[in-house]
């Protein structure tokens, strides 16, 4: 329809056809001489070629999502009218790829809802850190960190390290208790921060120094606050990692 529309304007002019069908633009662009033209594209291609050979310059431009663009809204209304009078072009088609953006958006919304609706369970640590999941990942700007460091910091942030709790879950060790302090306590990430006689004091002292304050109530909230602050100042996270590594805390 857009190609035919160019006939109403002065021939020889230049035209740009803007469409939100990325699939159609890519498919038309990829057509090569001597290759079979996909059936749904034949009519469009023929009318384009006829104009190209007669010297009319028509360019195809893909425009992602036209929503709230006046022309698009009018085109939508026109399509509703056309549907009512039932003069729909039987040869028009939509490619499934045109739905990719909508699928992506819907999946993202569904996942976000599930993420925030869970109290505990997977990602519990992350939720308590109040990470904005709309933001890019914290390490996307940390170009000076290597992959190994990023991975290890990520493990601390999500509370999922190679400690005895995890090894016990994987049936590598017979019990989940801490082998550093010897207490009959499950060795998880919080144990190292709060309860481990071997590491808790050192970590608390390090965090107090970094935050320039003394913890009256040193508890889970304090650890979460510290990790949350670390996301705003990545040097804090790398220094914390160094202190943990120096004590051979499994990460």
Given the rule CB under 5 A, which residues bind Zn ion?
A: 178, 180-181, 196
Nearer to Zn ion, 221 or 248 (CB): 248
Closest CA to 100 of 36, 158, 26: 26
Tell me how far, at minimum, the Cβ of 216 lies from Zn ion, in Å: 23
Give the CA distances from residue 84 to residues 63, 73, 87, 176, in Å, rounded to whole numbers and listed in that order.
27, 17, 8, 68
Tell me how far, at minimum, the Cβ of 164 lies from Zn ion, in Å: 9
Nearest-angstrom CA–CA distance, 139 and 234: 9
Nearer to Zn ion, 131 or 178 (CB): 178
Nearer to Zn ion, 60 or 161 (CB): 161
Tell me how far, at minimum, the Cβ of 206 lies from Zn ion, in Å: 17
Nearer to Zn ion, 79 or 219 (CB): 219
Give 249's contacts (C-beta < 8 A, 6+ positions apart).
161, 163, 180, 192, 199
Tell me how far, at minimum, the Cβ of 198 lies from Zn ion, in Å: 5
Tell me how far, at minimum, the Cβ of 118 lies from Zn ion, in Å: 29
Nearest-angstrom CA–CA distance, 22 and 98: 7
Nearer to Zn ion, 66 or 168 (CB): 168
Nearer to Zn ion, 178 or 223 (CB): 178
Nearest-angstrom CA–CA distance, 163 and 188: 6
Tell me how far, at minimum, the Cβ of 177 lies from Zn ion, in Å: 8
């Amino acid at each position: 329809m857009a190609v035919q529309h160019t006939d109403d304007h002065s021939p020889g002019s230049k035209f740009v056809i803007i469409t939100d069908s990325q699939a159609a633009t890519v498919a038309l662009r990829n057509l090569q001489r001597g290759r079979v033209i996909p059936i749904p594209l034949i009519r469009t291609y023929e009318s384009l070629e006829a104009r190209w050979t007669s010297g009319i310059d028509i360019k195809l431009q893909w425009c992602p999502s036209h929503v709230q663009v006046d022309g698009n809204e009018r085109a939508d209304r026109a399509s509703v009218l056309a549907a009512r009078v039932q003069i729909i072009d039987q040869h028009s088609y939509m490619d499934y790829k045109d739905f990719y953006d909508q699928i992506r958006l819907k999946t993202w919304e569904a996942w976000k809802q599930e993420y925030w609706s869970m109290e505990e369970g997977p990602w519990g640590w992350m939720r308590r850190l109040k990470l904005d999941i709309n933001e890019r990942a914290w390490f996307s700007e940390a170009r000076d960190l290597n992959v190994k460091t990023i991975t290890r910091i990520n493990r601390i942030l999500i509370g999922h390290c190679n400690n005895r709790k995890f090894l016990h879950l994987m049936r590598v060790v017979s019990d989940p208790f801490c082998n550093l302090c010897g207490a009959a306590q499950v060795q998880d990430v919080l144990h190292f921060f709060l309860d481990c006689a071997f590491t808790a004091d050192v970590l608390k002292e390090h965090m107090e120094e970094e935050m320039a304050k003394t913890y009256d109530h040193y508890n889970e909230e304090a650890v979460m606050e510290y990790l949350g602050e670390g996301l705003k100042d990545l040097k804090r996270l790398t220094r914390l990692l160094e202190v943990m590594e120096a004590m051979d805390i499994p990460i």
